[in-house]
Structure 1
Amino acid sequence: MASETVASNFEPSLWSTFFIDYELKPLQRSEEWMRKRADELKEKVRTQLGTCEDIVGKMNLVDAIQHLGIEHLFKQEIDNTIRDIHTSEFTSSSLHEVALSFRLLREHGLWVSPDVFGKFDGDDARLSSVIADHDTRGLLSLYNAAHLLVHGEPELEEAISIAKHHLESMTKDCDLNPVLANQVNRALNIALPRTCKRLETSLFISEYEQEEGWWRDLYTYVGLNYARDRAVEGYLWSCLVFYEKDLSFTRTFVAKMILLVTVMDDTFDSHATIQECRQLNSAIQRWDESAVTLLPEYLKKFYRELLRNFKVLQDQVTDNDKYRVTYTRKELQKLSTYYLQEAKWSHQRHKPSFRDQITLSTMSSVIPLLCVSGTVGMGNVVTKETFEWVASRTSAIVASAKIGRFMNDIAAMKRGKNKGDVASSVECYINEHKVTMEVAIDKIDSLIKDEWRTVNQALFEDRKLFPVVEQLVNLTASMAFFYDDRKDAFTFATHLQDTIESLFVNPVPIQTIYYIS
């Protein structure tokens, strides 16, 4: 007797004839246009890979290309870049960057010892608690990189265990960036090196579109909504001074300094109590993670990010530039001290003399900080002698600071004062000389003209100083751009809308470029 056929319980096809009958939607663009556009974009990526000199920048670019699933289009360029990363003397103190380097090199078949992670161990030879508690991106990078372990690497097994424990805790943190939270959850399910590339690409594309950039990530994370959100304006300011193509790193570095200082300034001026001002300044002077305990809760994230950003920037520059980053940090510490003194005057309702007000407000100007930070990335153009001139607050730099302060103070008479602003130079002149506001402004306008002469004089003092003096002139001119016509265009950014659109949004007409060339 024939055996009975056993009925199977397999589910029917979910799709049936869906794909057989499926008709493609009409293309919004022609195939020819899309091929041409794709070729343009591929060439742009090749140019980026070929011209990027920063090791961290190269790593991030390769990583993004791999995530997007287009590495096969740039195989030779990526091989060359990976070789550059492998042969470079990479000494970063960022866990994320070290782990990224480790993963990229191992993924491409180049051996890297797990010893590179030893620098992040605490006293008990385990991952430092400071990193474990606060560096989500670094932990995620470590977790993914450690999954490329081979036999006999217990340190990487432990790294996976520790990173997983902390990442699981962090996913419960409502402050975690949504894009980063998605990546953490995905990795905890299947680590990146064990994920099918095409599936990762489909998920990463939507996340890549949501990436908000350095400032948005920082501003959202620290949560200090009382501070001015001026990322575009800060970058514009930097572009006005450091516009040359080969100063892209300098431009970015200075823009970051402007934005970090803006948060500091608004904290001291507009939000913090006098006690909180003292606590913030004390922490900034100590410049150590342990100093976070001095701060009120709402400033702890900002302080950690301040330290972390300087650490990352220090790692990104060449050895010749590292001391310039250190000097930039020292200038920021000085600035904090002067901000605190202004806060004390405001708290005490002190009305300084015109001379005393100018002395302090010149020191609390951001100009000296921007001058020093503007040397970062300029390479050998800035000699030791040149840097000493920039860092010593010469008469030309002080003159530039006075111009910025005077113009800001005149604009402040129109816009009104912030909560914690100390009496301005205009107010002090009025009080001391018993004159009208118009008379005081006329006097300060004449002082601005005189200080410009001091700035101009520096152009002819020493030819070797010309590159940095030229930038000082540009920086001083930027003060006039932001504060001319009795306005404060940095604070009230609607004044800049047309300018920003003309520079960054609306392309220059082709006919104009033709005639210029």
Structure 2
Amino acid sequence: MSLPCFKPLASTLIGQKLPLHKPSSIHHDDKPSLTKLYPSRRRVARMPINMALTTTDEQGITRRIGNHHPNLWDHDFLQSLPKSYDAPCYGERAEKVIKEIKGMFNALHLNSSSADDLYKRLSMVDDVERLGIDRHFQTEIKAALDYVYRYWDDMNGIGCGRESPCADLNTTALGFRILRLHRYGVSSGMLLQFKDNDGQFLCSNTLSNEELRSILNLYRASLIAFPKEQDLDDAKAFSTKYLKQVLPNINNTNISKEIKYNLEYGWHTNVPRLEARTYIDIYGDAKTTNNIYNSKLLELAKLDFNMIQSIQQRELQIVSRWWKESGLDKLEFARHRHVEFYFSAAGVCIDPKYSTFRIGFAKMCTFLTCLDDIYDTYGTLDELKLFTQAIKRWDLAFMEALPEFMKVAFKAFDEGVRSMAQEAEKTQERDKLNYARKAWEICIDSFMVEATWIATGYIPSLEEYLENGKVSFGYRVVTLQPLLSLDVPINDDIIKEIDYPSKFNDLLCLTLRLRGDTKTFKAEVDRGELASGIACYLKDNPRSTEEDALEYLNSLIDEKLKELNWEYLKPDNVPIISKYHKYALSKGIQLLYKERDGISVSDIQTKKLITKAMIEPVPI
């Protein structure tokens, strides 16, 4: 079935005073220089540095440091992971169960009652997706959704069955969410019929399972909103308030677990791997084992989770060995978060054949973080100027005059970029090394801009800050080469749709920069990094408070995420695998910033998530 056309949706910034969508000052053919970008730059006195966050090296140079905690994942521990589900017998059992479930999917077409045929199909699709096993049933999922879409009405939604006399909120909300995420053209206008004359959503407040599940699915649907979809904004406000109010009074513990999970993780921080691990527990408790379909789904979900975990443990061992061999483990001032970065990729990309993608992303993020720590804290301004020149020449010979820590960082970085280019050439059948280097050079230039801000104590306007910050966050460079390693050719026209200068890439980088700033700005001030989204907003709005700035940035994030949803889900000529993985990786990063800076401080919640997803198998 060809994808139906969406109607283009305009987007605006709520309360926006700044023209954030003017053409970027930083692009491929015009690298930024401070005098060119900011000719009227005002010099201000250097702000005092927190001396508790400095160290003196062997040459007597005082350097700023981040006081980051060390690597949490012992190399020997990772090498000892048992990979318990490597044996062929598990794969053979899984293949047998997959065939049985495919038969159950197909049986729906032969023995489907018109009373609930639509809901049954949607429920099956929802189950396999939340259990993390949907990649095995892509043909069956498409057939089920094509069937449901034939009966979809943008004005009225759908009932439980194709012959239902009236629409059902639970089926309609579930159908809207799943169909939209699979790029079927569905409108949110059908929600009007579930409101009263005052525009309020109707509910009985009975706390029945049916009522609770309807409101939960309404909430889940409301998260997949495009700009200017007021009905979905209303649905989100109503369902959020309703679910939070009734949660303490729910007797069904399984529904309450579902509600808690969805309220906590929403959509943009809900990574498939953690959802699968959580839903396996809920599904195992909630579904009766007398139902052969439910028991088969649960068996496959557990087997699949543990087999994938064994693959991920093997890849973790590779990443840890690489990290030690690269010498980056000796740079004590830098954040050592290679495991956390691998988790971000493995949480959203579980297909066994994409090992290079996951490992490559972990390496690129490790390089980015190390370079960021050099530019933001440890390097002096004079060293950074020489370091920037040396990197942009891509020649180790130009590193001789620099400190040892810069030599170690650049050597590992240069080798890593070259290695990923070789991997990409296998699938793209052409050399993209220079393209990747160009992207890194632009990122390094943005680092240098921020290093100069730090050295001079300069706080830019919010517009100026975000134009540079979208680049310096580094999301473009850490995703570019891993995406090129996927098993699908990506021509230059498609690269422009997922990379620079696409709006898709711009929104990904902007939302991540804004999200990061709302969680890191206090720690950055302690390190002497004064320019952040919060500080720049306060400079632009002197009478505002820190709370005002946070409210503004969070509102801006919400609006930009809606625009991002559209850019991700709109029909275009981009291979869905490339667009999905770039979008999904952002969810892995958003997860780390959900409550705090889970990259800089990963010894609490982040470690628990990694242990749950990649260390501890599901009991079978």
Deviates more, 1:223-232 or 1:241-250: 241-250
Inter-partner Cα distance in structure 2 for 1:391 and 1:363: 12
Inter-partner Cα distance in structure 1 for 2:508 and 2:613: 25
Shift in Å, 1:420: 5.0
Inter-partner Cα distance in structure 2 for 1:211 and 1:401: 25
Match of 2:351 among 236, 244, 258: 244
Tell me the alpha carbon deviations over residues 282-324 of structure 1, each in whole angstroms, 9 at most, x when there is no partner: 1110001221124233312222222223333344454426534
In structure 1, what is the equivalent of residue 159 of structure 2? none
Structure 2 unmatched runs, 5+: 1-81, 93-316
Tell me the alpha carbon deviations over residues 92-133 of structure 1, each in whole angstroms, 9 at most, x when there is no partner: xxxxxxxxxxxxxxxxxxxxxxxxxxxxxxxxxxxxxxxxxx
- 2:496, 2:502 within 8 Å by CA — same for their partners in 1? no
> Percent identical across equivalent pairs?
21
Shift in Å, 1:354: 1.2
Shift in Å, 1:506: 0.6
Q: Label 1:243 to 1:294 Cα distance change in 2 as closer, same or farther (>3 A).
A: farther
Inter-partner Cα distance in structure 2 for 1:474 and 1:350: 35
Match of 2:598 among 461, 470, 489: 489
Higher relative contact order (CA 8 A, sep 6+): 2
Matches within 5 A, 1:32-431: 213-219=321-327, 223-319=330-426, 320=428, 323-417=431-525, 419-431=527-539
Equivalent AA in structure 1 for residue 453 of structure 2: W
Equivalent AA in structure 1 for residue 517 of structure 2: D
- 2:470, 2:509 within 8 Å by CA — same for their partners in 1? yes
Inter-partner Cα distance in structure 2 for 1:226 and 1:287: 24
Shift in Å, 1:263: 0.6
Shift in Å, 1:250: 1.0
Matches within 5 A, 1:6-45: none
Shift in Å, 1:471: 2.1
- 2:320, 2:338 within 8 Å by CA — same for their partners in 1? no
Q: Label 1:225 to 1:299 Cα distance change in 2 as closer, same or farther (>3 A).
A: same
- 1:268, 1:420 within 8 Å by CA — same for their partners in 2? no
- 2:420, 2:482 within 8 Å by CA — same for their partners in 1? no
Q: Label 1:350 to 1:39 Cα distance change in 2 as closer, same or farther (>3 A).
A: closer
Inter-partner Cα distance in structure 2 for 1:498 and 1:212: 19
Shift in Å, 1:500: 0.6
Question: Residue 550 of structure 2: SS of its match in structure 1?
Answer: helix
Shift in Å, 1:387: 2.0
Shift in Å, 1:266: 0.5
Equivalent AA in structure 1 for residue 570 of structure 2: F
Tell me the alpha carbon deviations over residues 114-167 of structure 1, each in whole angstroms, 9 at most, x when there is no partner: xxxxxxxxxxxxxxxxxxxxxxxxxxxxxxxxxxxxxxxxxxxxxxxxxxxxxx
Tell me which structure has the larger Cα radius of gyration.
Answer: 1
2:614 pairs with 1:504 = yes
Inter-partner Cα distance in structure 1 for 2:429 and 2:525: 38
Shift in Å, 1:445: 0.6
Inter-partner Cα distance in structure 2 for 1:254 and 1:377: 10
Q: Label 1:290 to 1:462 Cα distance change in 2 as closer, same or farther (>3 A).
A: same
Shift in Å, 1:220: 5.2
Q: Label 1:365 to 1:213 Cα distance change in 2 as closer, same or farther (>3 A).
A: same
Shift in Å, 1:225: 0.8
2:547 pairs with 1:438 = yes
In structure 2, what is the equivalent of residue 460 of structure 1? 570
Q: Label 1:245 to 1:470 Cα distance change in 2 as closer, same or farther (>3 A).
A: same
2:576 pairs with 1:469 = no
Equivalent AA in structure 2 for residue 419 of structure 1: R
Inter-partner Cα distance in structure 2 for 1:422 and 1:328: 30
Inter-partner Cα distance in structure 2 for 1:498 and 1:284: 37
Question: Residue 484 of structure 1: SS of its match in structure 2?
Answer: coil
Shift in Å, 1:392: 1.9
- 1:346, 1:420 within 8 Å by CA — same for their partners in 2? yes
From the two aligned structures, give the one with the greater helix fraction.
1
- 1:426, 1:441 within 8 Å by CA — same for their partners in 2? yes
Inter-partner Cα distance in structure 1 for 2:610 and 2:520: 23
Tell me the alpha carbon deviations over residues 230-249 of structure 1, each in whole angstroms, 9 at most, x when there is no partner: 12101112223433222111
Question: Residue 352 of structure 1: SS of its match in structure 2?
Answer: coil
Equivalent AA in structure 2 for residue 455 of structure 1: L
Shift in Å, 1:212: 5.6
In structure 2, what is the equivalent of residue 110 of structure 1? none
Shift in Å, 1:210: 13
Q: CA RMSD in A?
A: 3.0
- 1:386, 1:468 within 8 Å by CA — same for their partners in 2? no
In structure 1, what is the equivalent of residue 230 of structure 2? none
Shift in Å, 1:399: 1.1
Tell me the alpha carbon deviations over residues 410-441 of structure 1, each in whole angstroms, 9 at most, x when there is no partner: 11235453635241011111122120111110
- 1:228, 1:266 within 8 Å by CA — same for their partners in 2? yes
Shift in Å, 1:395: 1.3
Equivalent AA in structure 2 for residue 374 of structure 1: P
Question: Residue 382 of structure 1: SS of its match in structure 2?
Answer: coil
TM-score, normalization by structure 1: 0.55
- 1:407, 1:479 within 8 Å by CA — same for their partners in 2? no
Equivalent AA in structure 2 for residue 457 of structure 1: W
Equivalent AA in structure 2 for residue 502 of structure 1: K
2:566 pairs with 1:447 = no
Question: Residue 331 of structure 2: SS of its match in structure 1?
Answer: coil
Q: Label 1:295 to 1:41 Cα distance change in 2 as closer, same or farther (>3 A).
A: same
Equivalent AA in structure 1 for residue 600 of structure 2: T
Shift in Å, 1:444: 0.5
Tell me the alpha carbon deviations over residues 475-510 of structure 1, each in whole angstroms, 9 at most, x when there is no partner: 23223211112x100110022111111111110122
- 1:218, 1:305 within 8 Å by CA — same for their partners in 2? yes
Inter-partner Cα distance in structure 2 for 1:312 and 1:372: 13
Q: Label 1:247 to 1:263 Cα distance change in 2 as closer, same or farther (>3 A).
A: same
Question: Residue 380 of structure 1: SS of its match in structure 2?
Answer: coil
Tell me the alpha carbon deviations over residues 58-82 of structure 1, each in whole angstroms, 9 at most, x when there is no partner: xxxxxxxxxxxxxxxxxxxxxxxxx
In structure 2, what is the equivalent of residue 96 of structure 1? none
Inter-partner Cα distance in structure 2 for 1:289 and 1:238: 30
Question: Residue 476 of structure 1: SS of its match in structure 2?
Answer: helix
Shift in Å, 1:258: 0.4
Shift in Å, 1:365: 1.8
In structure 1, what is the equivalent of residue 167 of structure 2? none
Inter-partner Cα distance in structure 1 for 2:588 and 2:539: 30
Equivalent AA in structure 1 for residue 336 of structure 2: D
Shift in Å, 1:328: 2.6
Inter-partner Cα distance in structure 2 for 1:378 and 1:365: 23
- Count the aligned residue pairs: 310
Shift in Å, 1:382: 3.0
- 1:395, 1:454 within 8 Å by CA — same for their partners in 2? no
Inter-partner Cα distance in structure 2 for 1:498 and 1:43: 29
Inter-partner Cα distance in structure 2 for 1:296 and 1:484: 36
Inter-partner Cα distance in structure 2 for 1:313 and 1:250: 9
Q: Label 1:267 to 1:211 Cα distance change in 2 as closer, same or farther (>3 A).
A: closer
Equivalent AA in structure 1 for residue 480 of structure 2: V
